[in-house]
Amino acid sequence: MQLEKTPFYKKNWFIFLSLTFFFPLGVFLIWRYTFFKKSTKVIISLIFTIFFVITLILPNIDSNEESDTSNHQQETKDSNKIEIPASNTNEDPKINNEKNSIKTKDVIIDNSENQTNQLRNSVENELHLGKVQELGQFGTNTNILISIDHNLTKNMTKKTINQAIAQTLIGINKANTDVKSANIGIKINGTRVASSRWNEDAINNIEKYKNEIYDNPAKYAESFNNTYK
């Protein structure tokens, strides 16, 4: 008696292969042609069902993640872009000239402030009998008010005024801020007691003739055609 040959689709290897690569056919074959217990068939079917579902879902998840990553990178690139406005080559020359003029004025103002500070520091370094109460520099002219707070006799007051003027002129000369004329006022205990005006020659020669100012500032001023009150 010849045994009947089992068709390949009823064999276990083909059934499991079908479950792996063509899930619906594999499920049909396992229930139709295998002699497993019902519980075994259920477990095998569930396992391959889960596997089949996962194979369907994973590609979508990966593609979504890649899309999100690509979008995020694009947004990052866009956010990092800095727009540089194009310069207007047809700008009115008058406007450019005005801008350059404003910049030049700003520089002049800064230099003036620096010169004023330099002048004040130089005068204060030389001034031992009082302090600078007010100081302003206007171009090549400067106005300085010196304040002295002392109880002085008449002779001491005159001597102190002369020395304060000389020390102030020395400070102006050493500052090298291109001062060509100076108005110097002296206050003692809040009262203005003297004012004097000095030109460039008097300022430049102060180191040489400072002793003359100590003795007689009016005479020194007259020698350079200046007035002393």
Element (H, E) at 224: none
Length of the chain: 229
The pLDDT of residue 132:
92
Q: What is the pLDDT of residue 74?
A: 61
35: which 2 tokens? Answer: 């002699």
Residue 15 tokens read as: 């059934």
- In the chain the domains, ranked by start, together with CATH numbers, are 8-70 (no CATH), 112-223 (3.30.300)
pLDDT in tens, the chain (229 residues): 445 676 766 676 777 777 667 667 767 777 776 766 778 778 777 877 777 778 778 766 656 666 666 665 665 555 544 454 544 445 555 555 555 544 444 443 444 788 888 889 999 898 887 889 899 888 889 999 999 877 766 667 778 888 888 889 888 988 888 888 999 999 888 888 888 888 888 888 888 777 777 777 777 777 765 545 4
The predicted pLDDT at position 104 comes to 42
What integer pLDDT is reported at residue 219 of this predicted model? 72
pLDDT at 87: 45
Contacts 24+ apart (CB under 8 A), 146-150: 146/184, 146/185, 146/186, 146/187, 147/187, 147/190, 148/186, 148/187, 148/188, 148/189, 149/188, 149/189, 150/188, 150/189
The pTM for the full model equals 0.48
State which amino acid sits at residue 223. S
pLDDT of residue 135: 92
What stretches of the chain show up as alpha helix (H) in DSSP?
A: 12-21, 23-33, 38-80, 93-126, 154-175, 200-204, 206-215, 217-223
Report the distance separating Cα 127 and Cα 131, nearest Å: 7
pLDDT of residue 105: 42
Contacts of 98 (CB under 8 A, 6+ apart): none
Instruction: Measure the CA dihedral 137/140/141/145, to 10°.
Output: 40
The number of CA neighbours under 13 Å toward the Cβ of 153 is 2
Q: Is 144 within 8 Å of 183 (Cβ atoms)?
A: yes
